[in-house]
Amino acid sequence: MKKIVIAPDSFKGSMSAKEVADAVERGIKGVLSGVEVVKIPMADGGEGTVETLVDATMGKIVKLNVLDPLGNDAEAYFGILGDGRTAVIEMALASGLTMVPSDKRNPLITTTYGTGQLIKAALDHGCQELIIGIGGSATNDGGVGMAQALGGSFLDQEGQEIGFGGGSLSALKEIKISQLDQRIKRCTFKVACDVDNPLCGPKGASHVFGPQKGADSQMIKILDGNLAHLAEIIQRNIGIDVKNEPGAGAAGGLGAGLMAFCNARLQKGIELVIEATKLEEKVKGADLVITGEGQIDFQTVHGKTPYGVAQIAKKYKIPVVALVGSIGPGVEILYKEGINSIFSIVEGPMTLEACMKNGSQLTERAAGNIIRTLNIADY
């Protein structure tokens, strides 16, 4: 073998995608000399995407203070990729559910304002392409808080700015975007979104995702009606119909807000990461691709990293090995989707704690064993 590409996701709670790739590289080079190893840390648009893309492109992390979902001060960050013009943002780092104690979760009052502050900071750093992951939100405000942070005005009957949260949308009478940050028009917004829920209705943001954010049945009814009201005013004042767009209901309607106020395009998270890392270009000419994630199972085929990587390798008829922490049910489907073999790094009966603590060494040894096995064909 002359060229091996390593393109894993993180093993959550154990190793970042970069740490996994480094461990696999050590395992390979402990067996093979003179092989070209190309490391491409990956993600699927969810948790860890900022760090992964920064690592993959030799970019940088930018920290700043923002308002959290409850309007309190909090530290957050975003990434600027190695090209210096692309920002990667995870809304969960500013407006995420994990930032709100379980006894204070209330989507009537939580806001996406902090996410808007991250976007504004990226614009201040000269970024012209923004990749935004919108999983894990604590909010149900239709992206209004985000747009308020960027200069949009959401006015009530008296011409006053409405408050934060999905509950305040009932007072909305007019949207003005004349003061919305003009730099938005010169930028491209790509949103990592792996759900196709509409904004409103039984499959909409409030009904499907509201309960995990603290909404009871009465609150869900209010929130759903308020998002429908917001959609009507967006259409009337801006001329954009977001109500039934697939993905508009993602992140409590932030999908709709990004479409309406930032002209954003929603894409599968893994597709955005593949584009940003230039994975397809880098796998060309490889003899082997090694990918992986913490647990591989039937869900992997629905846009997880190993599936996305395998689809690219399959185009060029390059064999793919998945190196994982554990192998769950239903993985057989992946053998038809470009993954040739799946190996667990676990060497014997071990506690989960031990596996996670020793993940790097286990991964290194497993990678070395894979290469030794493949080398048998040369004898």
Q: Convert the pLDDT of each residue in 226-285 to its tens digit.
A: 999 999 999 999 999 999 899 999 999 999 999 999 999 999 999 999 999 999 999 999
Average pLDDT, the chain: 95
To the question of pTM greater than 0.85 for the whole model, the response is yes
Q: Any idea where the domains of the chain sit in the sequence?
A: 3-41+287-378, 49-269
CATH architecture of 49-269: Alpha-Beta Complex (3.90)
Mean of the pLDDT values across residues 195-205?
94
Please name the residue that has the structure tokens 């690592």: 55
Map residue 40 onto helix, strand or coil: coil
Give the pLDDT confidence score for residue 377 in this predicted structure. Answer: 60
Give the pLDDT confidence score for residue 378 in this predicted structure. Answer: 61
The pLDDT confidence band at residue 1, using thresholds 50, 70 and 90, is confident
Q: Convert the pLDDT of each residue in 100-151 to its tens digit.
A: 999 999 999 999 999 999 999 999 999 999 999 998 999 999 999 999 999 9
Dist CA 1 CA 319 (whole Å): 12
The domains spanning 3-41+287-378 and 49-269 adopt the same CATH topology: no
Q: Convert the pLDDT of each residue in 311-327 to its tens digit.
A: 999 999 999 999 999 99
Identify the CATH homologous superfamily for domain 3-41+287-378: Glycerate kinase; domain 1 (3.40.50.10350)
Contacts of 355-362 with CB under 8 Å at 24 or more apart are 355/14, 355/325, 356/11, 356/13, 356/14, 357/14, 359/11, 359/14, 359/15, 359/19, 359/20, 359/23, 359/325, 360/15, 360/19, 360/22, 360/23, 361/23
Mean of the pLDDT values across residues 36-53?
92
